[in-house]
Chain A
Amino acid sequence: MFVWIPVFPLLGTLLNGLFGIKYFSRRAVHSIAVGMAGMSFLASVASFIGLLSSSEPSTVKTLFTWIPGSLVHLLGGRAAQVSFDLAFRYDSLTAVMTLVVTGVGLLIHIYSIGYMSHDKSYARFFAYMNLFTFAMLILVLGANLAVMFIGWEGVGLCSYLLIGFWFTKDAAANAGKKAFVTNRVGDFGFLLGLGLLIVTLGTLDTAGITAAAEGGLLSPGLATAAALLLFLGATGKSAQIPLYTWLPDAMEGPTPVSALIHAATMVTAGVYMVARLHALFTLSGTALTVVAVVGVLTAVYAATMGLVQNDIKRVLAYSTISQIGYMFVGLGVGAFSAGVFHLMTHAFFKSLLFLAAGSVIHALSGEQDMRKMGGLRHRLPRTYPVFLIGALAIAGVPGLSGFFSKDEILTAAFASKHYFVWALGLVGAALTAFYMFRLIFLTFFGAERLDPDVGRHLHESPRVMTLPLQVLAFLAVAGGYIGLPHVLGGGAWFGKFLSTSTGAHEIEISGGAELLLMFVSAAIGIAGILAAYFVYAKKAGAPAARFAERFRTLTKIVSHKYYVDDFYSHVIVGGVKKLGLALGWFDAHVVDGVVNGAAALVRRLSKISIGFDQEVVDGAVNGIGSVSRLISQGLRGLQTGFVYNYALSIVIGIVIIISLVVTIL
Chain B
Amino acid sequence: MIPINAVFGLGLLLFFIGLFGVLFRKNLVIMLMSLELLLNGVNIIFAGLSHSLKSPRGAIFALFVILVAVSEAAVGFALVLSYFRSKKTYDVDEMNELKG
**Which residue in chain B gives the minimum CB-CB distance to A638?**
B100
A646–B94 CA distance with the chains assembled, in angstroms: 14
Residues of A within 8 A of B96 (CB): 640-642
A641 touches B98 (CB 8 A): yes
A648 within 8 A of B: yes
- B92 within 8 Å of A (CB atoms): yes
Q: Is the CB of B95 within 8 A of A643?
A: yes
Assembly CA distance A643 to B23 (angstroms): 9
CB-CB under 8 A from B42, the residues of chain A are none
**With A642-B93, A643-B92, A644-B92: A651-B23 Cβ-Cβ less than 8 Å:** yes
A641 close to B23 (CB less than 8 A):
no
A647 at the B interface (CB under 8 A): yes
**A654 to chain B: closest residue by CB:** B19
Instruction: Decide yes or no whether A636 CB sits under 8 A from chain B.
Output: yes
Please tell me if A639 contacts chain B, counting CB pairs below 8 Å.
yes
- Report chain B residues within 8 Å CB of A638: 100
How far does the alpha carbon of A638 sit from the alpha carbon of B99 in the complex, in Å? 9
A405 vs chain B, min Cβ distance (A)? 122
What number of A-B contacts does a CB cutoff of 8 Å give? 32
Residue of A nearest to B92 (CB): A643
The residues of B that contact A643 with a CB separation of less than 8 Å are 28, 31, 92, 95
Nearest Cβ on chain A to B94's Cβ, whole angstroms: 9
Q: Which residues in window 625-659 of A have CB below 8 A to B?
A: 636, 638-644, 647-648, 651
- Contact among B19, B93, B98 with A651 in the assembled complex (CB-CB below 8 Å): B19
Q: How far is the CB of B97 from chain A (nearest CB, A)?
A: 6
Which residues of A sit under 8 angstroms from B100, Cβ to Cβ?
636, 638-639, 641
Judged by a CB distance under 8 angstroms, whether B22 is at the interface is yes
CA separation between A176 and B28, bound complex, in Å?
115
For A644, the chain B residues whose CB sits under 8 A away are 22-23, 26, 92-93
Contact A648 B23 (CB under 8 A): yes
Which residues of B54-100 have CB atoms within 8 Å of chain A's CB atoms? 92-93, 95-100
Give the residue name and chain of the B residue nearest to A650 (CB).
B22
Known A647-B22, A648-B23: A639·B99 in contact at CB below 8 Å: yes
Contacts of A651 in B (CB 8 A): 19, 23
Majority secondary structure, A binding face: helix
Q: How large is the interface on B (under 10, 10 to 19, 20 to 34, 35 or more residues)?
A: 10 to 19
How far in angstroms is the closest Cβ of chain A from B31? Answer: 8
B95 partner, pick from A636, A639, A641, A648, beta carbons under 8 A: A641
Residues of chain B lying within 8 A (CB to CB) of residue A642: 92-93, 95-96
Q: What A residues does B95 contact at CB under 8 A? A: 641-643
Cβ-neighbour of A641 out of B19, B28, B31, B99 (below 8 A): B99
| Complex Cα gap A644–B19 (Å) | 11
Q: Least Cβ distance of B22 to chain A in Å?
A: 5
* Contact present for B23 and A647 (CB under 8 Å): yes
A639 pairs with B98, CB closer than 8 A = yes
Q: How far in angstroms is the closest Cβ of chain B from A654?
A: 9
Q: Which chain A positions have C-beta within 8 A of B98?
A: 639, 641
Whole-angstrom distance between the alpha carbons of A644 and B26 in the complex? Answer: 8
Bound complex: CA A647 to CA B95 (Å): 13
Query: In the bound complex, what is the Cα–Cα distance between A640 and B100 (angstroms)?
Result: 6
Contacts of B26 in A (CB 8 A): 644
Contact bitstring B11-28, A, C-beta under 8 A = 1, else 0: 000000001001100101
Considering only CB atoms, which chain B residue lies closest to A639 in the complex?
Answer: B100
A215 to B31, CA, bound (A): 133
State the CA gap A638–B100 with chains docked (Å).
8
| Complex alpha-carbon distance, A643 and B92, angstroms | 6
* Contacting residues, chain A, for B99 (C-beta < 8 A): 639-641
Cα-based distance from A643 to B97 in the complex (angstroms): 10
B92 proximity list for chain A (CB < 8 A): 642-644
A443 to B64, CA, bound (A): 143
Give CA–CA (A639, B98) in the complex, Å.
7
User: A648: which B residues are within 8 A, CB to CB?
Assistant: 23
Interfacial chain A residues near B22, Cβ < 8 Å = 644, 647
* A639–B90 CA distance with the chains assembled, in angstroms: 20
Bound: A641/B22 CA distance, A: 16
Closest chain-A Cβ to B20's Cβ sits at a distance in Å of 10
Closest-CB distance, A438 to chain B (whole angstroms): 122
In the complex, chain A residues 584-632 whose Cβ is within 8 Å of any chain B Cβ = none
Q: Which residues on the B side are within 8 Å of A640 (C-beta)?
A: 96, 99
**A636 to B98, alpha carbons, bound, how many Å?**
11
A640 to B19, CA, bound (A): 20
Min CB gap A640→B, angstroms: 6
Interfacial residues, chain B to chain A (CB-CB below 8 A): 19, 22-23, 26, 28, 31, 92-93, 95-100
Knowing that A641-B98, A642-B92, A647-B23 touch, tell me 4 more A-B residue pairs with CB under 8 angstroms. A641-B97, A643-B95, A644-B22, A644-B93
Nearest 3 CB-CB pairs, A to B?
A639-B100, A641-B96, A641-B99
**20 intermolecular pairs with C-beta atoms under 8 Å apart:** A639-B100, A640-B96, A640-B99, A641-B95, A641-B96, A641-B98, A641-B99, A641-B100, A642-B92, A642-B93, A642-B95, A643-B31, A643-B92, A643-B95, A644-B23, A644-B26, A644-B93, A647-B31, A648-B23, A651-B19
